[in-house]
């Protein structure tokens, strides 16, 4: 029978990161993945002569060599190398301001240029924007300190060095923006990234939003040259190089226990003995389906009940491969946010109301920053929005294909109205991924790739503070979007590493004890 | 001035609030009931029903097309569930244990998607002397027999956002099956486009589904069928092969049309220059991908010295390891299947990527027309064994399977 120190279940971003971390620490590690590809949503697929990126818009925490972000540092530490492309602008947004007036802004990367652009669109915003960015920086430093302290942050240090983080950290983004007296129009422009976290500004912790926006603006965003499948495959190959083993199309069916301690995994490729499992699986699925019910701790049942199915980011994405170049089609920007309104609460409600009311989408064209992304004279575009259980829970198979396409048609219409760009008549290949699709490939509850909403009491910082209390099962730790860092590529790589480090410490302590 | 941000009136309370975040969270958790965690969700269940890992099917009915040397097998699900809904033009990959091998074969669904809701789905198998599977199915598969199949697969279907309103379908021999499904779907109101089918057969006798095709055409103005006979000159039929000229004869002269193609390899080779004459943009030409060639040495770039050689192949799957032989004349997948290894595969054309495997060492030849791998897979040495021919000894890691 196969025997390992650690089995990482699920080769999503967190799983890949965790597997590399464990192997580097000298643990005999097996990575199993239920699909025949690594990466989960960090993947790609082919249609005709095109290769399509399913999920990645941009990575916010990679950064240039002279100002590396966490993701660059992590991949460097793992020895994972691949070619990256810098995204020049943060975003374009075509929408309406909260007061109903039209918005069309292009926000560049770099703190100086970003604040300059804001001053141009919202005259008089400069001083408050500078204060905001100072605050962002302090928050970021504070989070770094808390993360490094691994749950033992010294409150004296926090009070001395990060007082503003402490004073703002427990509030929603909206509350802090108001407290800073940021003009409403500047708030509207700043709030655009909300959808990357899936929680509107009234419910999203400021500290979480601050960390993300600061990274995007100060370090710029990056994408791999050849889709996120390239990142995932590069990580798998590095893991192999280090001696790790990977089994694809290998599904964990059940976690096996010796008393209250995990001792193995039952899979379609046989039983695997191990001392530890890092599971890139949503805890609801682990507790509900993959382990003996009597071993699920009371508090974990309560945690799940308290979250009450409040999942974030049920993805809906339409992909179009066109037989004209971006230039010929009149597409100038890499990513354009096209929400109906900049009021994130309203947009959130429209989204949750289903496709009828949902007027949110993000439009991307990869060729704008990567001319080689598809054959000459062609381009690949995508629209991303969120699905709602209202639409997808009870949809019949008979209506499914048409409903999927109708959503794509709506997005094409919005694109034409707002940007004057018409893709119809140029579509050579297309695909639509619905929450069903993401549920199928990732097995994420409701196709929600963002895990549980990092809203209100269950925000990122609160989860970080309770690392030791959540998921107290011996030898088993869930990792991924449901974890302390929430959703997103960067968060998943960081979470995978963080949780693997904890597992390694526990295993080392045991080994020390045994000697 | 030093940064000094307060949200509440008194910043101290804000700090306290920060410190208490963990307590607040714990309170919210403790206030919830300790209910059993449910691990299933409607969206996930829907996805599983539409795309099961595999399905156990029972042969419910067999229709014998004697003069055409073919049979239609109508299946129902062993578990009594409806058959997953699909797009007309998609295929099933059958997973068959034959003489100690585990082989897959893809067959286009010829039934209407509407029948799937009633729990039925059908494929048509035509005799293929010298082949490994078709004639065995024709001779041995009986009503009541069970077999395993994939979910509906493939991208050969109509999409109104992409394709022109009018489709000229080019079918050869048993390549009629996806078009029959489309015609039935148009009849049933599931699909809404104009389909003019140019259907090549040897003679009147060997036309599959002639009666039904003509019936649908008679009752459904959106569907039209033109029979093209290669070996017989019969009144009321076109004679010869399908050519650019013939396509233009039936295509609308004043507006865009799409061309869809499904037929045997010889037909693809013949039609390639004919289609080129039409001057269609690529977006208006779609073809059903077919099994990789049986004569790779006829293709450009094939290392001629490899032909007829036999190489050593090590296959790793999970903890298991197999040492087998692989002929240079066959795709790597065939050698794996022959050894009785349950390796994944579906399309056998390089398109679906389901068989994607890590080539740990060795070299393979991939025909240009089947080179449909992802960038990173080419970069990091992953191959699709269904469409790769060994050109040296190989070590291969294959994924698991779920049946």
Q: How far apart are CA A165 and CA A159, in angstroms?
A: 9
The reply to whether B118 touches chain A by the CB within 8 Å rule is: no
Best of B366, B375, B378 to disrupt the A interface (most A CBs within 10 Å) is B375
- DSSP helix/strand/coil, A101: coil
- Average pLDDT score over residue span A347-362: 96
* Cβ <8 Å between A462 and B24: yes
**Which pLDDT score, from 0 to 100, does residue A24 have?**
98
Indicate if the pLDDT at residue A435 is higher than 90: yes
Indicate if the pLDDT at residue B1 is higher than 80: no
Indicate if the pLDDT at residue A151 is higher than 90: no
Closest C-alpha to A200, from A413, A395, A344: A344
Continuous H helices in A201-243: 206-219, 227-241
% of chain A with per-residue pLDDT over 90: 90
The reply to whether A472 touches chain B by the CB within 8 Å rule is: no
Task: Report the CATH number of the B48-149 domain.
Answer: 2.40.30.10
pLDDT digits (tens, 9 = 90+) for A152-176: 888 899 999 999 999 998 999 999 9
Residue of B nearest to A424 (CA): B161
Q: Is A280 exposed, middle or buried (0-12, 13-18, 19+ CB in 10 A)?
A: buried
pLDDT digits (tens, 9 = 90+) for A120-138: 999 999 999 999 999 999 9
Q: Cβ contacts of residue A303 below 8 Å, gap of 6+?
A: A283, A470, B29, B32
Q: How far apart are CA A376 and CA B176, in angstroms?
A: 34
- Average pLDDT score over residue span A405-428: 97
| β pairing state of A2-9 and A29-32 | parallel
pLDDT digits (tens, 9 = 90+) for B335-365: 999 999 999 999 999 999 999 999 999 999 9
Q: How far apart are CA B17 and CA A168, in angstroms?
A: 9
Indicate if the pLDDT at residue A515 is higher than 80: no
The reply to whether B7 touches chain A by the CB within 8 Å rule is: yes
Q: Which of residues 225-244 of B touch A (CB under 8 A)?
A: none
pLDDT digits (tens, 9 = 90+) for B21-31: 999 999 999 99
Confidence label for B9 from pLDDT (cuts 50, 70 and 90): confident
Domain with CATH 3.50.50.60 in chain A: 2-82+227-308+458-514
Closest approach of chain B CAs to the CA of A43, in angstroms? 10
Q: How far apart are CA A508 and CA A30, in angstroms?
A: 18
Question: Domain B297-397 is in which class?
Answer: alpha beta
Confidence label for A514 from pLDDT (cuts 50, 70 and 90): low
Q: Does the domain spanning B166-287 belong to CATH 3.40.50.80?
A: yes
The reply to whether A400 touches chain B by the CB within 8 Å rule is: yes
Confidence label for A146 from pLDDT (cuts 50, 70 and 90): confident
**Which pLDDT score, from 0 to 100, does residue B3 have?**
87
The reply to whether A457 touches chain B by the CB within 8 Å rule is: yes
Output the 3-class SS for B372-394. CCCHHHHHCCEECHHHCEECCCE
The reply to whether B78 touches chain A by the CB within 8 Å rule is: no
Residue of B nearest to A49 (CA): B372
Q: Which residues of B touch A166 (CB under 8 A)?
A: 14-15, 18-19
Indicate if the pLDDT at residue B186 is higher than 70: yes
Token pair, residue A129, equals: 């924007």
Residue of A nearest to B39 (CA): A288
Mean predicted lDDT score pLDDT of chain B: 96
Best of A30, A36, A390 to disrupt the B interface (most B CBs within 10 Å) is A36
Indicate if the pLDDT at residue B51 is higher than 80: yes
Task: Report the CATH number of the A2-82+227-308+458-514 domain.
Answer: 3.50.50.60
pLDDT digits (tens, 9 = 90+) for A170-216: 999 999 999 999 999 999 999 999 998 999 999 999 999 999 999 99
The reply to whether A134 touches chain B by the CB within 8 Å rule is: yes
C-alpha B130, offset from chain centre: 23
Nearest-CB residue to B15 (from A167, A323, A397): A167
The count of residues in chain B is 403
pLDDT digits (tens, 9 = 90+) for B99-129: 999 999 999 999 999 999 999 999 999 999 9
**Which pLDDT score, from 0 to 100, does residue A9 have?**
98
Token pair, residue B229, equals: 């006979």
Give whole-number Cα distances, A407 to A357, A400, A401, B85, B134, in Å: 11, 11, 10, 19, 41
Backbone φ and ψ of A452, nearest 5°: -80, 145
Indicate if the pLDDT at residue A372 is higher than 60: yes
Helix A298-307 vs helix B21-30: angle between axes, to the nearest 10 degrees? Answer: 100
Indicate if the pLDDT at residue A275 is higher than 70: yes
Residue of A nearest to B258 (CA): A428
- What is the sign of the dihedral through the CA atoms of A292, A293, A298 and A302? positive
Indicate if the pLDDT at residue B179 is higher than 70: yes
**Which pLDDT score, from 0 to 100, does residue A150 have?**
73
Chains A and B form CB pairs within 8 A to the count of: 269
pLDDT digits (tens, 9 = 90+) for B391-401: 999 999 999 99
Backbone φ and ψ of B142, nearest 5°: -120, 165
Indicate if the pLDDT at residue A287 is higher than 90: yes
Indicate if the pLDDT at residue B231 is higher than 90: yes
* Cβ <8 Å between B379 and A469: no
Q: Which residues of A touch B377 (CB under 8 A)?
A: 229, 233
* Cβ <8 Å between B14 and A408: no
Best of B2, B4, B5 to disrupt the A interface (most A CBs within 10 Å) is B5
Q: Which residues of A touch B7 (CB under 8 A)?
A: 167-168, 171, 175-176, 179
Indicate if the pLDDT at residue A229 is higher than 80: yes
Indicate if the pLDDT at residue A497 is higher than 70: yes
DSSP B179-225: HHHHHHHHHTTS--SEEEEEEEESSGGG-TTHHHHHHHHHH-TTEEE
Indicate if the pLDDT at residue B390 is higher than 60: yes
* Cβ <8 Å between B85 and A400: yes
Q: How far apart are CA B198 and CA B212, in angstroms?
A: 15
**Which pLDDT score, from 0 to 100, does residue B301 have?**
93
Closest approach of chain A CAs to the CA of B234, in angstroms? 38
Mean predicted lDDT score pLDDT of chain A: 95
For the whole model, what pTM was predicted?
Answer: 0.97
Query: How many other C-beta atoms are found inside a 10 Å radius of the C-beta of residue B117?
Result: 14
* Cβ <8 Å between B3 and A135: yes
């Amino acid at each position: 029978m196969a025997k390992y120190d650690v089995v990482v279940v699920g080769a999503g971003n967190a799983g890949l990161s965790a597997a590399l971390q464990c192997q580097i620490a000298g643990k005999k590690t097996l990575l199993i993945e239920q699909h025949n590809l690594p990466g989960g949503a960090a993947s790609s697929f082919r249609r005709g002569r095109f290769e399509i990126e399913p999920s990645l818009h941009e990575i916010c925490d990679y950064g240039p060599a002279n100002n590396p972000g966490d993701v660059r540092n992590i991949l460097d530490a793992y020895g994972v190398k691949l070619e990256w492309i810098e995204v020049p602008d943060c975003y374009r947004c075509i929408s309406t301001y909260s007061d109903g007036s039209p918005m069309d802004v292009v926000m560049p990367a770099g703190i100086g240029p970003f604040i300059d652009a804001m001053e141009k669109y919202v005259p008089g915003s400069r001083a408050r924007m500078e204060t905001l960015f100072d605050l962002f920086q302090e928050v970021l430093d504070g989070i770094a300190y808390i993360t490094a302290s691994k749950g033992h942050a010294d409150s004296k240090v926090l009070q001395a060095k990060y007082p503003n983080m402490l004073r703002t950290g427990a509030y929603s983004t909206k509350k802090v923006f108001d407290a800073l007296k940021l003009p409403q129009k500047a708030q509207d422009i700043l709030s655009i990234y909300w959808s990357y976290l899936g929680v509107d500004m009234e419910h999203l912790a400021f500290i979480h939003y601050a960390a993300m926006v600061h990274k995007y603006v100060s370090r710029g965003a990056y994408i791999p040259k050849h889709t996120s499948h390239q990142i995932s495959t590069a990580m798998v190959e590095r893991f192999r190089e280090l001696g790790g083993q990977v089994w694809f199309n290998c599904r964990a069916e059940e976690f096996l226990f010796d008393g209250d301690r995990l001792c193995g995994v039952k899979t379609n490729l046989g039983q695997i003995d191990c001392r530890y499992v890092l599971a890139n699986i949503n805890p609801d699925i682990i507790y509900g389906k993959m382990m003996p019910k009597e071993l699920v701790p009371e508090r974990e049942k309560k945690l799940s009940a308290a979250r009450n199915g409040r999942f974030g980011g049920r993805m809906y994405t339409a992909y179009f491969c066109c037989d004209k170049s971006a230039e010929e089609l009149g597409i100038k920007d890499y990513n354009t946010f096209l929400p109906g309104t900049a009021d994130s609460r309203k947009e959130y409600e429209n989204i949750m109301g289903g496709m009828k009311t949902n007027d949110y989408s993000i439009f991307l064209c990869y060729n704008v920053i990567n001319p080689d992304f598809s054959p000459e004279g062609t381009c690949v575009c995508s629209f991303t929005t969120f699905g709602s259980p209202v639409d997808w829970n009870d949809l019949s198979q008979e209506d499914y294909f048409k409903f999927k396409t109708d959503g794509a048609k709506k997005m094409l219409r919005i694109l034409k109205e707002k940007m004057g760009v018409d893709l119809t008549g140029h579509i050579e290949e297309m695909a639509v991924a619905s929450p069903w699709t993401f549920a199928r490939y990732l097995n994420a509850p409701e196709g929600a790739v963002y895990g549980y909403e990092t809203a209100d009491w269950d925000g990122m910082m609160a989860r970080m503070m309770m690392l030791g209390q959540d998921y107290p099962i011996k030898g088993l730790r869930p990792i991924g979007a449901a974890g302390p860092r929430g959703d997103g590529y960067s968060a998943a790589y960081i979470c995978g590493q963080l949780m693997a480090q904890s597992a390694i410490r526990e295993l080392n302590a045991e080994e020390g004890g045994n000697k | 001035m030093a940064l000094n941000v307060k949200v509440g009136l008194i910043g101290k309370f804000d700090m306290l609030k920060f410190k208490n975040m963990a307590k607040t969270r714990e309170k919210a958790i403790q206030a919830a009931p300790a209910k059993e965690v449910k691990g299933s969700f409607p969206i996930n269940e829907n996805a599983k029903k539409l795309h099961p890992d595999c399905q156990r099917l029972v042969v419910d009915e067999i229709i014998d097309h004697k003069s055409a040397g073919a049979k239609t097998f109508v299946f129902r699900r062993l578990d009594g569930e409806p058959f997953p809904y699909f797009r007309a033009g998609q295929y099933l990959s059958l997973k068959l244990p034959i003489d100690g091998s585990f082989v897959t074969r893809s067959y286009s669904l010829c039934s209407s998607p509407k029948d799937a809701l009633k729990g039925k789905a059908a494929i048509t198998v035509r005799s293929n002397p010298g082949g490994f599977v078709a004639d065995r199915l024709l001779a041995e598969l009986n009503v009541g027999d069970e077999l395993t199949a994939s979910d509906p697969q493939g991208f050969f279907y109509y999409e109104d956002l992409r394709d022109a309103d009018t489709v000229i379908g080019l079918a050869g021999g048993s390549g009629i099956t996806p078009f029959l499904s489309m015609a039935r779907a148009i009849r049933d109101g599931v699909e809404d486009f104009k389909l003019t089918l140019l259907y090549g057969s040897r003679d009147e006798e060997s036309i599959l589904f002639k009666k039904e095709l003509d019936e649908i055409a008679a009752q459904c103005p959106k569907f039209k069928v033109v029979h093209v006979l290669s070996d017989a000159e019969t009144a009321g039929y076109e004679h010869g092969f399908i050519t650019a000229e013939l396509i233009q004869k039936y295509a609308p002269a004043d507006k865009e049309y799409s061309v869809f193609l499904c037929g045997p390899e010889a037909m693809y080779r013949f039609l390639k220059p004919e289609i080129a004459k039409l001057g269609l943009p690529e977006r208006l030409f779609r073809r059903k991908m077919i099994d990789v060639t049986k004569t790779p040495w006829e293709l450009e770039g094939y290392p001629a010295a490899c032909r007829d050689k036999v190489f050593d192949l090590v296959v790793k799957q999970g903890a298991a390891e197999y040492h087998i032989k692989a002929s240079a004349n066959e795709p790597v997948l065939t050698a794996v299947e022959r050894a009785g290894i349950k390796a994944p595969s579906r399309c056998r054309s390089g398109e679906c990527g389901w068989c994607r495997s890590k080539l740990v060492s060795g070299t393979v030849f991939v025909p240009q027309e089947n080179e449909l791998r992802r960038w990173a897979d080419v970069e990091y040495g992953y191959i699709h064994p269904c469409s790769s021919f060994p050109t040296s000894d190989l070590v291969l890691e294959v994924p698991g399977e779920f049946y």
